[in-house]
């Protein structure tokens, strides 16, 4: 067993235009004051990170690492969620996702841009000395998630074939450079649970670079067993988002949410400790299975302020990290043993 690293924090939800949140140096100092030890950096937000520079310049990446080190922080990894989403989406979502990519791009030009961005994320990771990029997969079939009207035979197969075709060269590029993509299984993407991840893995021939960023909050909102998920897919987990959620259905709203805003939905994200996720079980199982990556706060709460969420998140994670034991609790009762003794105990000699 190994002890995981932390507490870490994903910066995306905290970056905004006013100081100290508008620069890497400023926000690094802010989170360091709360006790965080590492940061996951959004690769799309030019206020804190320049992906083009990072992909082409080791010197720039050294500057980033130095800025963080001055605040007592490490860089955990970069995250390229928006670029992953743009790799594939149904045309119905084009207006909604237009803010995720450069203005004026449409159709295949968006896919080409996203492909380039994801490969640059790999290059940047190599220059930074990190080994995973957290992403969403994007998807073409999400509008057909509910099987009404009846889906034509082969429709989902075709969607996953195309999605895999768009990812294949990117995964190969990453694998050749010792980098993985941690897919966060997320609504709006075609990879949103274990079954869809398995379908994708089959299409990409089990590429070793196709891995997972584990986030139990999305599974709780789906009413999926998020602890059993770890046991099933542990060997692919490369990052862990510590994010809380609650699911409180009533006679008015349930899993689908009734088109309500976040506060009015039955399933909603909460600050750490305010929801229903059993983090004790998660930290225990991940430790037992040898996960030695980072425990990273991702804060998304429709009630509590980001300042309070960040302030409370670091001690919450620290209290849940388990110092993995190197001895057995009953070692005090152990004795000398050899094969002859074992055979005598079994009555074989």
Show Cβ contacts of residue 173 under 8 Å, excluding neighbours closer than 6 positions: 119, 122
Q: Output the pTM of the full model.
A: 0.95
Supply the range of the domain harboring residue 99: 5-345
Please give the mean pLDDT across all residues of the chain: 96
Distance from first CA to last CA of the chain, Å, rounded?
36
Residue 333 has pLDDT above 70, yes or no: no
CATH number at residue 289: 3.20.20.150
Residue 82 has pLDDT above 80, yes or no: yes
Q: Convert the pLDDT of each residue in 99-153 to its tens digit.
A: 999 999 999 999 999 999 999 999 999 999 999 999 999 999 999 999 999 999 9
Average pLDDT over residues 45-66: 98
- 218 neighbors 300 (Cβ within 8 angstroms): no
Count of positions (residues) in the chain:
349
The structural domain count of the chain equals 1
| Distance of alpha carbon 16 from alpha carbon 257, whole angstroms | 28
Q: Convert the pLDDT of each residue in 293-328 to its tens digit.
A: 999 999 999 999 999 999 999 999 999 999 988 777
DSSP H or E run through 9:
strand 5-10
| Neighbour count for residue 100 (Cβ, 10 Å) | 18
Residue 61 has pLDDT above 70, yes or no: yes
| Neighbour count for residue 271 (Cβ, 10 Å) | 24
Residue 163 DSSP symbol: H
Q: List, in sequence order, every residue forming a beta bridge with 140; answer none if it has no partner.
A: none
Q: State the residue for tokens 């926000």.
A: 27
Distances (CA, A) of 61 to 42, 77, 115: 14, 12, 21
Three-class SS state of 137: coil
What is the pLDDT at residue 332? Answer: 61
What is the pLDDT at residue 1? Answer: 87
* SS3 track for the chain: CCCCEEEEEECHHHCCCCCCCCCHHHHHHHHHCCCCCEEEEECCCCCCCCHHHHHHCHHHHHHHHHHHHCCCCEEEEEECHHHHHHHCECHHHHHHHHHHCCCCCCCHHHHHHHHHHHHHHHHHHHHHCCCEEEECCCECCHHHCCCCCCCCCCHHHHHHHHHHHHHHHHHHHHHHCCCEEEECCCCCCCCCCHHHHHHHHHHCCCCCCEEEEECHHHHHHHCCCHHHHHHHHHHHEEEEEECEEEECCCCCCCCCHHHCCHHHCCEEEECCCCCCCCHHHHHHHHHHCCCCCEEEECCCCCCCCHHHHHHHHHHHHHHHCCCCCCCCCCHHHCCCCCHHHHHHHCCCC
What is the pLDDT at residue 316? Answer: 98
Residues of the chain with pLDDT > 90, as a percent, come to 93
């Amino acid at each position: 067993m190994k002890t995981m690293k932390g507490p870490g924090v994903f910066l995306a939800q905290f970056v905004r235009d006013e100081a100290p949140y508008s620069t890497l140096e400023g926000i690094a100092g802010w989170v360091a004051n709360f006790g965080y030890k590492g940061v996951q950096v959004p690769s799309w937000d030019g206020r804190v990170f320049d992906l083009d520079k990072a992909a082409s310049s080791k010197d720039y990446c050294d500057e980033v690492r130095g800025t963080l080190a001055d605040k007592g922080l490490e860089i955990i990894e970069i995250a390229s969620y928006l670029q992953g989403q743009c790799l594939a989406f149904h045309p119905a979502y084009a207006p909604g996702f237009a803010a995720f990519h450069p203005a004026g791009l449409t159709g295949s030009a968006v896919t080409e841009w996203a492909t380039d961005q994801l490969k640059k994320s790999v290059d940047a990771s190599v220059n930074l000395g990190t080994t995973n990029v957290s992403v969403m997969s994007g998807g073409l079939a999400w509008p057909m998630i509910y099987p009404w009207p009846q889906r034509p035979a082969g429709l989902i197969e075709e969607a996953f074939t195309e999605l895999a075709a768009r990812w294949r060269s990117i995964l190969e590029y990453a694998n050749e450079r010792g980098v993985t993509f941690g897919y966060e299984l997320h609504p709006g993407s075609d990879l949103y649970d274990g079954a869809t991840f398995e379908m994708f893995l089959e299409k990409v021939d089990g590429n070793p670079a196709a891995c997972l960023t584990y986030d139990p909050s999305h599974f709780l909102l789906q009413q999926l067993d998020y602890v059993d998920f770890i046991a099933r897919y542990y060997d692919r987990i490369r990052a862990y988002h510590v994010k809380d959620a609650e699911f409180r259905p009533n006679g008015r709203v349930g899993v689908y949410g009734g088109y309500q805003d976040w506060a009015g939905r039955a399933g909603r994200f909460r600050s750490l400790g305010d929801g229903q996720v059993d983090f004790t079980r998660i930290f225990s199982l991940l430790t037992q299975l040898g996960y030695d990556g980072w425990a990273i706060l991702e804060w998304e709460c429709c009630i509590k302020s980001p300042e309070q969420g960040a302030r409370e998140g670091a001690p919450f994670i620290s209290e849940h990290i388990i110092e993995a034991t190197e001895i057995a609790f009953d070692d005090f009762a152990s004795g000398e043993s050899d094969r002859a003794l074992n055979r005598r105990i079994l009555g074989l000699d």
